[in-house]
Amino acid sequence: MNSPKLAELKKELNYLEIPQVKELCLRLAKYKTENKELLHYLLFYQDKKEDYVNEIKEMIINEFDDLHPSIYYVSKQLRKLLRIINKHIKYIGEKDKECDIVLCFCEEFIKHPIVTITQQALILLLFRQLKRVNRILPKLNEDLQFDYQQQFDELIKLLKSKRKNFRMVEIE
């Protein structure tokens, strides 16, 4: 069975009454956690995106505070955290908010003692996120671009002070 086109679904939704649409939304939310979380975001945070971003930042900070001392578990926890972050970024759907959240992740990563560890997987995880920010920056408007570029440059300086062998070429 092929999935229908979005336009076809929109047409069909126009013919339904409001209670039927509400019932369909609840039914969608009931079967998948991601749908429930997206519906929660759309209902409660659509107009308050800054609050939502701040909650995500708090979650990132708390997760870094609770990192396991073992490198094996740290890498698993960080990958899980990135999956959650990416899901929330997908809900928001704005490049400036994405940049803000990823910069927060990178900042916490660099401030944490794990940045001095030489395990390649962890360092590449950080570099991928820094590349991501570097790709997003040119797409933002000039004011935001300037602000985030300053924040990005500060992170790079901090990273250079913590990791002596870091070169900017690694993230470009």
- Please report the pLDDT score of residue 170 as a whole number: 66
- Please report the pLDDT score of residue 117 as a whole number: 74
- Please report the pLDDT score of residue 70 as a whole number: 86
Q: How far apart are CA 55 and CA 150, in angstroms?
A: 23
Burial of 49 (0-12, 13-18, 19+ CB in 10 A): middle
CB < 8 Å & 24+ apart, contacts of 87-95: 87/34, 87/37, 88/41, 88/52, 88/56, 91/37, 91/38, 91/41, 92/41, 92/49, 92/52, 92/53, 94/49, 95/136, 95/139, 95/140
- Please report the pLDDT score of residue 119 as a whole number: 81
| First-to-last C-alpha distance (Å) of the chain | 43
CA-closest candidate to residue 133, choices 88, 92, 97: 97
pTM greater than 0.85: yes
- Please report the pLDDT score of residue 2 as a whole number: 78
pLDDT along the chain (172 residues), means of 10: 82 88 88 89 90 96 92 91 96 94 95 81 91 93 93 91 75 72
